[in-house]
Amino acid sequence: MENKNTLFFKPMPEKGNETRQIICEVYSALKEKGYNPISQLVGYVVSGDPTYITNHKNARVLITKLDRDDLLEEIFKNYLESLENE
């Protein structure tokens, strides 16, 4: 008997895509609460202290899902790629 149901598999998202999405969500939450997102994110990356990130929209939980090295890698990668495209 032939099975006519087709299974579809979605590829696993790249690690960078998840990192980028989390950065965007955290940035947005910080901005909504009236914080300077760049300053707060730098404070978090330098110190490792998650209290630099607001709890608004679960941003603190999201940012702590990322390894700070992965966060820095994504930031530098995007910054350097933007320089190449100028």
Average pLDDT across each block of 10 residues of the chain; the chain has 86 residues. List them in order.
Answer: 60 69 96 98 96 98 95 91 90
Q: What pLDDT score does 12 carry?
A: 46
CA distance 45 to 77: 16
Residues 6+ apart with CB under 8 A from 54: 29, 30, 33, 35, 40, 60
Q: What pLDDT score does 86 carry?
A: 86
